[in-house]
Structure 1
């Protein structure tokens, strides 16, 4: 076994303990098992107003969209295929010294045109759930462009550059250019995760429209009757998390609050001047790869509606299918990964 440095070994030990904690959580804490994602009580509570979404929240939404719509879309429109990398995959890529060596651990990117990647500002490798801000990076393989969306200025610009560079090495696209796209800004310090989910959903709809079809059509806030009935159906199970009298204080309150108005007088963020960034992308280098408008200037991205949408999506799945939907194939993989980490680390009392 290769000797590890003291700092590296401590990091691996902390990572091992984190994996043990995650894999041994009580099953009573699980709200919903949806294929390869287990939604825990903490994840559901994160969808309340003012709470910060973790990587599992984003993973669930990507898994849901992929299972319900993207798989069929990619099969019917392979030239427009979209891959949604999970936050854990992006974290692995960002911290890898050999991106090409991750090919077997990632979805088949060579079959896709667009790669969506949630970017986190976590700088601590031993804390897979660390960081304090989410943003979105979208790579268009056909035009060799990467688009960066950030609801908090350019807070994650350096992290996005790192991920874009690693992805360029992985895809074999050394000329990949990064563009900062003006993005609707969040109104608080906790909506970055839900903004990533909603921006990604908006962009997928835009790509599908360019392909001549529809994708990710969402219910409007003016038609909440079905959502209210779902809540009433499950209110007994979640009574302890819906006790507040403030309708906005719980993700599953008795009355669905109206959407707040979008501040039209707030201009989008201009791109940061940089020789590798541009506000207006050049014409596509390939005539057979039609460009898609991936700007967000006219899109109403509403974080409050996004939180309700994710909450009621979980409730809808529970009402229609029970607490288990599909088969989780990642449990055995996670257990194997835990064993590999345990075998690689000598745990001593003084570490």
Structure 2
């Protein structure tokens, strides 16, 4: 399984060769390693401070979301899904957070230029709901709809703050995830599904990753 690159030739800053996810340059597109590391840090915080929510939440590896859940065969997708939702033989996953990439599975030239976030609410197992958060005019809407359909989740529209540069889409994914998880830890009302007031902080992310 190959990893997504952090950037393309149009990036304002070349990607760091460090694959640990600890190094993010000031104007670099996030790679899967950055998102995965921040998801791991967030889950560690959840397990320490809210173990009940941690047990009900899955922060999905970007590579698994892309290659196995969205692009994999039916059997590959189902096996990956079962590994994600089942812990100790029990399906405890009420909330799935999945980064969506526009990378191609077959064309090595199309290595991905945009991230968005798909949240699947599975509290009603028979009728899960999917919310897609895209910070760049719905660029990944079709891809997210395919993923939601494969997971048999009904799409519902939500609002998302739009990025003002060409390189912060991944920051919107991780900061959006953190904001939604924080709301889940409180009493989540329908209005709190929207992220139209989201303010991202790249510097804070860089410090978290480096720490």
TM-score by length of structure 1 reads 0.48
For residues 86 and 125 of structure 1, do their structure 2 counterparts lie closer, same or farther at Cα, with a shift above 3 Å needed? farther
1:157 aligned residue: 141
Unaligned residue ranges in structure 1 (runs of 5+): 1-14, 20-28, 31-37, 169-175, 212-289, 317-351
Q: Deviation digits for residues 52-99 of structure 1, max 9, x if unmatched?
A: 1111110000011112224652x3347x82111110110121111212
Q: Deviation digits for residues 196-229 of structure 1, max 9, x if unmatched?
A: 1111111011111117xxxxxxxxxxxxxxxxxx
8 Å contact kept, 1:137–1:148: yes
8 Å contact kept, 1:210–1:292: no
Q: Which has the larger radius of gyration?
A: 1
Mapping for residues 1-351 of structure 1, pairs under 5 Å: 39=20, 44=23, 47-70=24-47, 73=50, 75-77=51-53, 81-91=56-66, 92-98=68-74, 99-103=77-81, 105-108=83-86, 110-125=91-106, 130-143=111-124, 144-168=128-152, 176-210=153-187, 293-297=192-196, 299-302=197-200, 305=201, 307-316=202-211
8 Å contact kept, 2:119–2:130: yes
TM-score by length of structure 2 reads 0.78
Task: Find the aligned partners of 1:142 and 1:203 in 2 and give their Cα distance.
Answer: 15
For residues 104 and 206 of structure 1, do their structure 2 counterparts lie closer, same or farther at Cα, with a shift above 3 Å needed? closer
8 Å contact kept, 1:146–1:164: yes
Task: Find the aligned partners of 2:122 and 2:49 in 1 and give their Cα distance.
Answer: 20
For residues 108 and 57 of structure 1, do their structure 2 counterparts lie closer, same or farther at Cα, with a shift above 3 Å needed? same
Aligned length in residues: 189
For residues 121 and 77 of structure 1, do their structure 2 counterparts lie closer, same or farther at Cα, with a shift above 3 Å needed? closer
TM-superposed deviation, 1:157 = 0.6
8 Å contact kept, 2:101–2:114: yes
